Chains A and B, each alone.
Chain A
């Protein structure tokens, strides 16, 4: 799933700067299909998260840092929901309906409206920039745990580690 999100981010920024061409329109469609797929998968992930609480943070962590970690994770989940949602709304407002994999039409939630469409495009982009920043923080923090604090936070994210316990 992380791969899917990195792919979407990279594809999103890349396709935006392309000059208009058949390839660009093709990439836009793929981005939208993959984005909708990600949106659905996030709900599955959230369900999992709610039914399987992760192990508590090590008590060695200062309270403030624990709070920051929780806030960061909340942001990650939030963005994984609102980013595709903003993409979907943008496509509706711009009058370019999303048809999932070219087969399943996703209803347009908004009336066609240029201003709203352009606004949502900016929203989609700004949220993505925020997403990149939070991901960078997330990765930075994970690496800090591993190399500086030398605790097992990073290792415990890996499935093999979990099954041992």
Chain B
């Protein structure tokens, strides 16, 4: 009898963390999240960021393939590193924020790559153009919240970002590295 009680106690204490693990992270905390980018100007890397965006996210580490994520980035909140640059990229040749105020990402399928690594396929829409993108991301649980980190490269020409005299890549390169860190709490 005593042995049975111990066995039960052990098994339940083992099961507990498992139960705790089936937790869904779905409250994005924008103040602990960031969307940055790096572009190259005459071969020199320059960092920028977007300060305003919103995101919906559902992620259960036990069921990663059912995860869903979407992002809406307010393009006018761009920081290119120079105020002159911020005004410039809001304009018509770049984002044309008057007509296309937001960039949107919507996830499709999610693959677990093993460990804490995942691969999110989705669609990115900027300036009226939509492209398929594959976004690698890692997930780290931190207390009651989870942190998603990742980066991927887009080509600005695919979205007609930087037209006219900016269309050539000798001054501002085509590749733009997007880096994100999203913190989401569980309910």
A residues near B (Cβ < 8 Å) are 20-22, 25-26, 29, 94-99, 102, 105, 112
Contacts and interface: CB of A to CB of B under 8 A. Distances in A.
Contacts of A102: 42-44
29 contacts: A20-B84, A20-B85, A21-B165, A22-B165, A22-B166, A22-B168, A22-B171, A22-B172, A25-B41, A25-B42, A25-B172, A26-B171, A29-B42, A29-B44, A94-B81, A94-B82, A95-B46, A95-B47, A95-B81, A96-B44, A96-B46, A96-B81, A97-B45, A98-B44, A99-B42, A102-B42, A102-B44, A105-B44, A112-B81
Contacts of A98: 44
Nearest to B88: A20
Interface in B30-63: 41-47
A106 to B, nearest CB: 10
B87 to A, nearest CB: 8
Query: Nearest 8 pairs between A and B by C-beta?
Result: A22-B171, A20-B88, A95-B81, A29-B42, A99-B44, A25-B171, A102-B43, A20-B84
A21 B166 CA distance: 8
Nearest to B81: A95
A12 to B, nearest CB: 16
Interface residues of B, number: 19
A29 B171 CA distance: 10
A80 to B, nearest CB: 25
A142 B21 CA distance: 83
A149 B87 CA distance: 55
B47 A112 contact: yes
B44 to A, nearest CB: 5
Given A25-B42, A29-B42, 19 more contacts: A20-B85, A21-B165, A22-B166, A22-B168, A22-B170, A22-B171, A22-B172, A25-B41, A25-B171, A29-B44, A95-B46, A95-B81, A96-B44, A96-B82, A97-B45, A99-B42, A99-B43, A105-B44, A112-B47
B83 to A, nearest CB: 9
Contacts of A95: 46-47, 81
Nearest to A118: B83
Nearest to A97: B44
A102 to B, nearest CB: 5
Given A21-B165, A95-B81, A26 B42 contact: yes
Contacts of B82: 94, 96
A96 B41 contact: yes
A30 to B, nearest CB: 10
Contacts of A112: 47, 81
A97 B88 CA distance: 20
Nearest to A105: B44
A106 B152 CA distance: 27
Interface in B67-87: 81-82, 84-85, 87
Nearest to B91: A20
A92 to B, nearest CB: 12
B38 to A, nearest CB: 11
A29 B85 CA distance: 15
Contacts of B47: 95, 112
Contacts of A26: 42, 171
Contacts of B85: 20
